[in-house]
Chains A and B, each alone.
Chain A
Amino acid sequence: MWPIPSIDWLALTIPIAYLTILIGSLAIFSSLYRKRKAASAAALEPWFPPHLQRNIYLSLLHQEDPKVPDSILKAALMRRATEDIHRIVQVRNAKQALQVLLQRGSVGDDLWQRFQHAEREIEEELKDVVTEANAFAPNWGQIIFQSASEMAQNTLLRDRLSEIQSTQAAEKEWWEKRKAAIQEDFMKELDEEKKEPKTERSDDDAVLVEGGGPAVGAGRKTGGKKKGKH
């Protein structure tokens, strides 16, 4: 009945062993590869540093013993929304540039992944802020970001202003010194003129006064402005 009277079991093990080793090694490779990939994706550095304002808000919200008054909670939520505005502006600005760079191969894939994580995270964060705001006052969620962005703009402007004003002292000092030097030069010149008339010197000074305005611009850019030599 049996078509093959005897099977050489030993010889049969060889192809079976071959197949097991082949398939087994491929399976091990695939699982290891996936695990490593997942691990590296999880280990990606977050795009943004920890969200301090959100943490503050949440700790205030969950503080039980002396209940935090609503006004403080609302202020904390505003702060949180302001920080979100900063972040979303950053994400929006970066997106186009990052896409261009990714296409050209100037940045790596994992940066793009990190960016997408950040994008999703910020979306969730926005939704969360809106629901929180609505919990405080109906329909506040629709305008909270408007106010937050105004706040952000204001801070930005003030920072710039204070930055410019911080140079004031140095500029003033420089100008005082300069004025003194010019005065001294003039006095010297007058003295010299009494002795012997000289023209070249005064010519030089005329240029001085013109160029000596309290220009704040960097020295580098003069190259462009003074380009027309004729």
Chain B
Amino acid sequence: MSGTDYSYDGEGQFFPYFILTITSLVTLPVTYSWLKPSKELENTATRIDSGYKPEHADLIEGQRKKLKRRERRIKRALISIGGWLVIAYMVYLTIVTARLIPKIWDPYDVLGISRSATEQEIKKHYRRLSLTLHPDKAREDPSRNITKEIINDHWVDVTKAFKALTDEEIRNNYIQFGHPDGKQSFSIGIALPKWIITEGHGKYVLLIYALALGVILPYTVGRWWYGTQRVTREKILVASAGKLFREYDNDQGETGVVGVLSSGEEFNDVLKGHKADNGLSKLEQKVLADSSDSSISSILSKKDRQKLEDLDETPRRKVLNLLWAYLGRVELGDDVLNDEKFEVAPVALRLNEAYTAIALAYGNTKAVLSAYHTAQNLIQALRPGASPLEQLPYFSPEVVKAAEAEKSRNHLTIQEFMRLSADKRKSRVVAPGLLTDSQYKTALTVASKLPVLHVEKAFFKVLGERFITPSSLVQFVVKCRFIPPGTANVPEVKASDLEDIDPDEGDVAANNGRKEDKSGEKPIQPPLAHAPYFARDHAPRWHVFLADSKQGKIVVPPFSFSTFDKPIIDESGNSTYNVQTLKMQFGAPPQAGKYTFVMHMVCDSYIGTDTKTEVTLEVDDASKVEELVEEDEISEPDEDTIAGQMRALKTGAAPGKPKKKRSDDDSSDGSDTEGDVDSESETDTDTDSDDE
């Protein structure tokens, strides 16, 4: 026997091991990713529980479940279950076939004596065995299937075993090679069952091989590749993105944005086949009915109306009508249509994200705000220009009219409504035909739980510097608090909370901005958006951006915040009024001067909670900063300290680098916190909120 003589796995002893390894390599990670709890914001946040059930709550719930089901990773579940079945079967096979594996040849076992037996005893035992087992003595016994050969073989074995234990040479053989006959043949096995190479099966094996390499592999790779090419970064179809871009217009308001969103290709999946135009005429009648001044038809401008009527593709027309029906909370009188009405909203929100990205690329403030407001409208199921009060449960347009009492053109926000005295508030809306007492209470609980972010202070600063120099990396710091609408005595903000103290110089991680996310602590999430009509859980996000009001352009693109660093509510559910810090970084303008920006803070889930404040960025000339630093140093008396001497050395060496010096300076008096705070207040450029 030679080493090149491969033996195939005829009995199927090793094949299961091979399969087992391969399947577990695939199955274990897949199972992990299947069962791993999702870390998405929507799954970890708390809810605002109001107990309010809107009309058709069952349909909305049904849509919510449908979406959940789609996200449930069914493929992974199937793969991992299949994998585990295969693994179980392979384990079973190895257990069953284990008996066939030949035992290691053991002379003591063959002779049937203990390992402690001496040579004397072995010889004695061998002689005793020869009396019964010697081929001359032993009898054939056909009934027990004992033939001459078996007796002979067994006797040879016994003799070998005896010699292995007594004969010097054979004993050496046994110790060296594990067998009395010397070195045994060495065989390499292939863990494939033998039928693979048996005559006649070759072509099937080749066929499978060709199929795997020529069809399945290219197909999977191609599918993956074209799959990634089909969707954009915002996870919408490329075709939809193209349409959104084509229809984008700087000047279209929120109604226009809704019109654009209806062009998405995604709706074709929602309204498949006959659904694409079923009930369109009925739908149009309901949506454009001229019943009251809060209806959809009144808010559509002439242009928008024209656009809707000019649409000649029926599917898109239906989608747009459904969207308007959803935003107008129009009762369609047909369960199928109502169901579709709730189904289109989450899709539209996804498209709106892509639209927002496009608007941001254009950088037009008005367009971006329209996009954000459309997100609010979609989540709250309210038409553009609706009163923010309609976000509260049971607040229908009639109730809102009563609540607003003052017949102003501008609507009351929830905050303003809640600021009215309790009696006045109640007397306006609790009346026969409007709200009952319990409905009013439900609405109030919801209102008092809405997370409304109130900006306390907003300023610019450069880390570790006293002034903002041209082209430096500026941090825009917003200090704000969650103040639920209607809280009477809001505690004053502590002055210390409004300062942003730089981390220690030695803290490299913090200085590089890596500590921003507070990786050690768990970020705090506000509760999910209270959106009873929206068939999907949504975690509210706050977008902060700076705009130039004169040009109507965005200067610093939005930073989005969905988690905060301090608890928002304590254990008993009361607001903590903690001051939250939001930071965004951008490069300062290259020229010195005063820059006035408008800061916009927009929550994507609640209408009427936007904040708009003017902030001024003062960029000082680098030379001026240098002067001041020099002055600083002259007044510094501690020349005798090591740090002082070091600084003296450095200032002498590098006079042209004000920045560097400044940071040195800081390190010398790093412990002097008071000085830091002082410098802090000097740095803060003023924040003028345009109070009335």
Do A97 and B358 touch across chains, with their CB atoms under 8 A apart?
yes
Interface flag for B373 (CB, 8 Å): yes
Interface flag for A67 (CB, 8 Å): no
Do A211 and B408 touch across chains, with their CB atoms under 8 A apart?
yes
Do A223 and B357 touch across chains, with their CB atoms under 8 A apart?
no
- Of A35-43, A99-107, A124-132, the segment with at least 4 beta carbons within 8 Å of chain B is A99-107
Do B358 and A223 touch across chains, with their CB atoms under 8 A apart?
no
- Shortest CB distance A21–B (Å): 11
Point out the residue from B358, B384, B692 that lies within 8 Å of A226, measured CB to CB: B692
Do B413 and A226 touch across chains, with their CB atoms under 8 A apart?
yes
Chain B residues with CB under 8 Å of A166's CB are 302
Interface flag for B44 (CB, 8 Å): no
Do B410 and A211 touch across chains, with their CB atoms under 8 A apart?
yes
Chain B residues with CB under 8 Å of A101's CB are 241, 245, 357-358, 361
Do A224 and B611 touch across chains, with their CB atoms under 8 A apart?
yes
Please measure, in the bound complex, the distance between the C-alpha atom of A125 and the C-alpha atom of B410, giving whole angstroms: 48
- Shortest CB distance B255–A (Å): 11
Chain A residues with CB under 8 Å of B242's CB are 107-108, 110-111, 114
Chain B contact-residue range equals: 35 or more
Do B241 and A211 touch across chains, with their CB atoms under 8 A apart?
no
Chain A residues with CB under 8 Å of B504's CB are none
- Given the known inter-chain contacts A220-B385, A223-B611, A229-B419, please indicate yes or no for A111 contacting B245, CB distance below 8 A: yes
Point out the residue from A181, A208, A220 that lies within 8 Å of B373, measured CB to CB: A220
Chain B residues with CB under 8 Å of A114's CB are 242
Do A100 and B611 touch across chains, with their CB atoms under 8 A apart?
no
Please measure, in the bound complex, the distance between the C-alpha atom of A107 and the C-alpha atom of B230, giving whole angstroms: 10
- Shortest CB distance B66–A (Å): 27
Chain A residues with CB under 8 Å of B363's CB are 97
Point out the residue from B232, B234, B362, B454 that lies within 8 Å of A97, measured CB to CB: B362
List B204-255 residues whose CB lies under 8 Å from chain A.
229, 232-234, 238-239, 241-242, 245-246, 250, 253
Do A223 and B610 touch across chains, with their CB atoms under 8 A apart?
yes
- Shortest CB distance B24–A (Å): 36
- Given the known inter-chain contacts A106-B358, A166-B302, A228-B692, please indicate yes or no for A223 contacting B609, CB distance below 8 A: yes
Do B406 and A208 touch across chains, with their CB atoms under 8 A apart?
yes
**Contact code string B435-473 (vs A, CB < 8 Å = 1, else 0):** 000000000000000000011000000000000000000
Please measure, in the bound complex, the distance between the C-alpha atom of A106 and the C-alpha atom of B242, giving whole angstroms: 9
Chain B residues with CB under 8 Å of A226's CB are 413, 416, 692
Do B689 and A228 touch across chains, with their CB atoms under 8 A apart?
yes
**Contact code string B276-293 (vs A, CB < 8 Å = 1, else 0):** 000000000000000000
**Contact code string B603-619 (vs A, CB < 8 Å = 1, else 0):** 00001111111000000
Interface flag for B354 (CB, 8 Å): yes
Chain B residues with CB under 8 Å of A94's CB are 245
- Shortest CB distance A91–B (Å): 12
List A185-213 residues whose CB lies under 8 Å from chain B.
204, 207-208, 211-212
Interface flag for B16 (CB, 8 Å): no
Chain B residues with CB under 8 Å of A227's CB are 454-455, 611-613, 689, 691
Do A223 and B409 touch across chains, with their CB atoms under 8 A apart?
no
Chain A residues with CB under 8 Å of B253's CB are 218
Interface flag for B259 (CB, 8 Å): no
- Shortest CB distance B240–A (Å): 10
Residue on B nearest A48 in the bound complex, by CB: B246
- Shortest CB distance A210–B (Å): 9
Do A225 and B692 touch across chains, with their CB atoms under 8 A apart?
yes
Please measure, in the bound complex, the distance between the C-alpha atom of A97 and the C-alpha atom of B245, giving whole angstroms: 10
Task: From A105, A181, A227, name the one whose CB has the most chain B CB atoms within 10 angstroms.
Answer: A227
- Given the known inter-chain contacts A111-B245, A229-B419, please indicate yes or no for A222 contacting B358, CB distance below 8 A: no
Interface flag for B256 (CB, 8 Å): no
- Given the known inter-chain contacts A107-B245, A228-B691, please indicate yes or no for A223 contacting B413, CB distance below 8 A: yes
- Shortest CB distance A9–B (Å): 23
Interface flag for A93 (CB, 8 Å): yes
Please measure, in the bound complex, the distance between the C-alpha atom of A218 and the C-alpha atom of B302, giving whole angstroms: 17
Interface flag for A215 (CB, 8 Å): yes
Residue on B nearest A177 in the bound complex, by CB: B407
- Shortest CB distance A147–B (Å): 25
Point out the residue from A108, A178, A219 that lies within 8 Å of B385, measured CB to CB: A219
Please measure, in the bound complex, the distance between the C-alpha atom of A228 and the C-alpha atom of B689, giving whole angstroms: 7
Do B361 and A222 touch across chains, with their CB atoms under 8 A apart?
no
Q: In terms of DSSP, what is the predominant structure of the interface of chain A? A: helix
Residue on A nearest B301 in the bound complex, by CB: A163
Please measure, in the bound complex, the distance between the C-alpha atom of A215 and the C-alpha atom of B409, giving whole angstroms: 7
Please measure, in the bound complex, the distance between the C-alpha atom of A94 and the C-alpha atom of B242, giving whole angstroms: 12
Point out the residue from B385, B408, B612 that lies within 8 Å of A224, measured CB to CB: B612
**Contact code string A43-86 (vs B, CB < 8 Å = 1, else 0):** 00001000000000000000000000000000000000000000
- Shortest CB distance A156–B (Å): 10
List B179-225 residues whose CB lies under 8 Å from chain A.
none
Do B410 and A219 touch across chains, with their CB atoms under 8 A apart?
yes
Do B409 and A174 touch across chains, with their CB atoms under 8 A apart?
yes
Do A108 and B238 touch across chains, with their CB atoms under 8 A apart?
yes
Do A93 and B362 touch across chains, with their CB atoms under 8 A apart?
yes
Residue on A nearest B361 in the bound complex, by CB: A97
Interface flag for A122 (CB, 8 Å): no
Please measure, in the bound complex, the distance between the C-alpha atom of A166 and the C-alpha atom of B368, giving whole angstroms: 26
Interface flag for B338 (CB, 8 Å): no
Please measure, in the bound complex, the distance between the C-alpha atom of A175 and the C-alpha atom of B233, giving whole angstroms: 48
Please measure, in the bound complex, the distance between the C-alpha atom of A225 and the C-alpha atom of B614, giving whole angstroms: 11
Do A207 and B406 touch across chains, with their CB atoms under 8 A apart?
yes
- Shortest CB distance B683–A (Å): 24
- Shortest CB distance B358–A (Å): 6
- Shortest CB distance A47–B (Å): 7
Interface flag for B411 (CB, 8 Å): yes
Point out the residue from A100, A105, A224, A228 that lies within 8 Å of B232, measured CB to CB: A105
Chain B residues with CB under 8 Å of A93's CB are 250, 362
**Contact code string B350-361 (vs A, CB < 8 Å = 1, else 0):** 000010011001
Do B241 and A181 touch across chains, with their CB atoms under 8 A apart?
no
Point out the residue from B411, B415, B600 that lies within 8 Å of A219, measured CB to CB: B411
Please measure, in the bound complex, the distance between the C-alpha atom of A166 and the C-alpha atom of B302, giving whole angstroms: 10
Task: From A100, A108, A111, A181, name the one whose CB has the most chain B CB atoms within 10 angstroms.
Answer: A108
Please measure, in the bound complex, the distance between the C-alpha atom of A93 and the C-alpha atom of B385, giving whole angstroms: 29
Chain A residues with CB under 8 Å of B241's CB are 101, 106-108, 111
- Shortest CB distance A112–B (Å): 10
Please measure, in the bound complex, the distance between the C-alpha atom of A133 and the C-alpha atom of B245, giving whole angstroms: 34
Chain A residues with CB under 8 Å of B373's CB are 220
Interface flag for B685 (CB, 8 Å): no
Chain B residues with CB under 8 Å of A208's CB are 406-408
- Shortest CB distance A217–B (Å): 8
Interface flag for B315 (CB, 8 Å): no
Chain A residues with CB under 8 Å of B419's CB are 229
Please measure, in the bound complex, the distance between the C-alpha atom of A219 and the C-alpha atom of B410, giving whole angstroms: 4
Task: From A94, A107, A114, A174, name the one whose CB has the most chain B CB atoms within 10 angstroms.
Answer: A107
- Given the known inter-chain contacts A212-B408, A218-B385, please indicate yes or no for A105 contacting B612, CB distance below 8 A: no
- Shortest CB distance A82–B (Å): 19
- Shortest CB distance B482–A (Å): 14
Please measure, in the bound complex, the distance between the C-alpha atom of A230 and the C-alpha atom of B241, giving whole angstroms: 44
Please measure, in the bound complex, the distance between the C-alpha atom of A115 and the C-alpha atom of B690, giving whole angstroms: 43
Point out the residue from B361, B362, B407, B689 that lies within 8 Å of A178, measured CB to CB: B407
Do A222 and B612 touch across chains, with their CB atoms under 8 A apart?
no
Q: Which 7 A-B pairs have the closest CB atoms?
A: A224-B612, A228-B691, A108-B238, A97-B361, A219-B411, A111-B242, A105-B233
List, sorted by A's number, 11 A–B pairs whose CB atoms are closer than 8 Å: A47-B246, A97-B361, A106-B361, A108-B241, A111-B245, A212-B409, A214-B409, A218-B384, A219-B411, A224-B600, A225-B692
Known contacts A219-B385, A225-B690; 14 further A-B pairs (Cβ under 8 A): A97-B362, A101-B361, A106-B241, A107-B232, A107-B242, A107-B245, A111-B242, A212-B408, A217-B410, A220-B610, A222-B608, A223-B610, A227-B454, A228-B691
